Amino acid sequence: MQPIIECVPNFSEGRNLQTIKTITDAIETVEGIRLLDVDPGKATNRTVVTFVGSPDDVIEAAFRAIAKAAEVIDMRNHTGEHPRMGATDVCPLIPISGITMEETAEYAKKLAKRVAEELHIPTYLYEAAQSNPSRTNLSVIRGGEYEGFFEKIKQPEWAPDYGKPEMNATAGATVIGARDFLIAYNVNLNTKSTRIANRIAFDVREAGRVKREGNPYSGKIATDENGEAIRIPGKLKSVKAIGWCIEEYNMAQISMNLTNYKITPLHVAFEETRKAADERGVRVTGSELVGLIPLKPLLDAGKYFLEKQGMSAGVSESELVDCAIRSMGLNELGPFDPSKKIIEYLLRDDKQSRLVTMTVRGFVNETASDSAAPGGGSISALTGALGAALGTMVANLSAIKKGWEDRVGEFSPWAEQGQTLKDRLVAMVDEDTRAFDAIMTAFGLPKDTPDQVSIRKQAIQDASKYATEVPFRTMQTAFECLPLLKQMAEHGNPNSLSDVGVGALCIKTAVRGAWLNVLINAQGLSDKPWAENIVSEARALLAKNHAACDEIILGIEAKLGA
């Protein structure tokens, strides 16, 4: 999975739209960046920008934006309601997919160091990027704001993490860090009562409610020995919530911020809110996502609701997303379009998946045309995907077999594994063709001068290595499907034995076909030790796959009376 991070910088300008555009234009000069949202606020005189991309692209775009903000914003003239300390007040990086928080924090440090060294802006780290517990909280770091930082920065305990302890008079100081994705989420109620909505919000939010003597809603606030209000915590960690009534919808809502969906997943917030509403005689009618969401929370929700229904969760990604949408009523107030709400789908480049988006007839016709691609490598990957799909199908059929209701938990994990392998092999259909195209592009490079000849030669070698690695990964991934097929052959629905056998044959073909592509692409490599090593590994894998496939197929034939 391609690493994706989100960046949400806050700039101290919310009134001059041209200034804001100058900053966002700088962001969009980086190829591969997708600008998702620009939200200016006049009263706060502050703009929140959201963009996503690969880690290296994101920190480059963030640097250019911070540099441009320092150029066009003069903090000596800035006023606004929101606390701030610099032209770029805060710049969080958020892991979306394919990257850990720890890795994201390292990118934040890399960006902060460059900002301090090249732009001469004192820079602080916060949240996951900050190792000093007393300096992880943004509001604590920002205390004193721009005006107070000229003296604060000179205090040894408040020296910046990067840069000199001297305030930049025009750009101020900047805070850069790594944090979890925040999900803005509203749960709809069949009441217009803000009072009831607030009571439900207090039931579920982490902060809970203050404890009262006598009447739990209007009694005197109970205090401890220090005179501090005693609080009754709510059910959900990392959740902030409040109740309100939306006249436009003619209903009350629980408005929540899930500050860490890994601690409290989306479906857990929905379910606990539903339970709290039931206890107060109110029904949850649906819910609403504000802004964008990563794919994982919806996949987790779909899996949860399917398992709750006693069904296998080993279904396709689109089915999991659809189950989540329907189960939480995300389309009650308007259409929920996954292609516009899920970050990974917004970033999806259909040009990179040209083959797998074709119809079956279109793909076959394309293969049969006078174009060299798609060729044997892509067909091998597709054949492997079909083998994984057949194994997954049998796992799902076994999970719903009459009389096997108590075995859903046995087969569902196998189906989930099969879906993952199937998706990886499907992606390799287009990747193999892209690898071939890269070789053709390299051969097309100019060769009129010695330098051009050298560059062209190296490009051909690099492309040929890539074209050798791709079918080798196809071999590895297809081979990973065999435990699934073996399990289904021995313990799955006996009525589907022939399907398992065909799946094993597909895997056998996929691995041997990919092996041929490893051989042909390794032939022209000048790095002979590298070529010999990958061919040797591929040959060993081929032999193991051949034996394992034959064992499965012969076992099935024996069961079928051959």
Q: 3-state SS of 314-358? A: CCCHHHHHHHHHHHCCCCCCCCCCHHHHEHHHHHCCHHHHCCCCC
State the pairing for strand pair 231-232/209-210: antiparallel
Q: Mention every residue, 6+ apart, whose C-beta is less than 8 A from residue 163.
A: 115, 116, 117, 120, 121, 122, 123
pLDDT digit of tens for each residue in the chain (562 aa)? 679 999 999 999 999 999 999 999 999 999 989 898 888 888 788 898 989 999 999 999 999 999 999 999 999 999 987 789 999 999 999 998 889 999 999 999 999 999 999 999 999 999 999 999 999 988 889 999 999 999 999 999 999 999 999 999 999 999 999 998 888 899 999 999 999 999 999 999 998 888 888 777 777 887 778 878 888 889 999 998 989 888 878 999 998 889 889 999 999 999 999 999 999 999 999 998 877 888 999 999 999 999 999 999 999 999 999 999 999 999 998 899 998 888 888 777 666 678 888 899 999 999 999 887 789 999 999 999 999 999 999 999 999 999 998 999 999 999 999 999 999 999 999 998 888 888 889 989 999 899 998 999 999 999 999 999 999 999 999 999 999 999 999 999 999 999 999 999 999 999 999 999 999 999 989 899 999 999 999 999 999 999 999 999 999 999 998 7
Q: What is the largest CA-CA distance in the chain?
A: 91
Tell me if residue 81 falls in helix, strand or coil: coil
Query: Is 350-559 a domain of CATH 1.20.120.680?
Result: yes
Degrees to nearest 5, angle at CA 424 with 337 and 178:
65
What's the pLDDT at 84?
92
For residue 155, count other CB atoms closer than 10 A to its CB: 9
Segments of the chain assigned to CATH 3.30.70.670: 183-347
CATH class of 183-347: alpha beta
The two three-digit tokens of residue 520, written as one number = 């042909």
Tell me if residue 40 falls in helix, strand or coil: strand
Rounded Cα distance between 200 and 274, Å, is 9
CA 90 to chain centre: 22
Rounded Cα distance between 110 and 403, Å, is 58
Q: Right CATH number for 4-178 from 3.40.630.30, 3.40.50.300, 3.30.420.130, 3.30.990.10?
A: 3.30.990.10
State the pairing for strand pair 231-232/251-258: unpaired
pTM check: above 0.75: no
Say if residues 384 and 474 touch (Cβ distance below 8 Å).
Answer: yes
Phi, psi (rounded to 5 degrees) for 246: -105, 105
What's the pLDDT at 1?
61
Q: Which residues are catalytic?
A: 82, 432
Q: Is 283 left (phi over 0), alpha (psi -120 to 50) or beta?
A: beta
**Could you tell me where the DSSP H helices lie in 211-316?**
266-279, 295-308
What's the pLDDT at 500?
97
Q: Is 1 exposed, middle or buried (0-12, 13-18, 19+ CB in 10 A)?
A: exposed
To which H or E segment does residue 197 belong?
helix 194-204
What's the pLDDT at 249?
84
State the pairing for strand pair 4-7/46-53: antiparallel
What's the pLDDT at 349?
66
Segments of the chain assigned to CATH 3.30.990.10: 4-178
Q: Mention every residue, 6+ apart, whose C-beta is less than 8 A from residue 562.
A: none
Segments of the chain assigned to CATH 1.20.120.680: 350-559
Cα dist. 237→208, 223, 258, 269, 289 in Å? 10, 23, 9, 10, 19
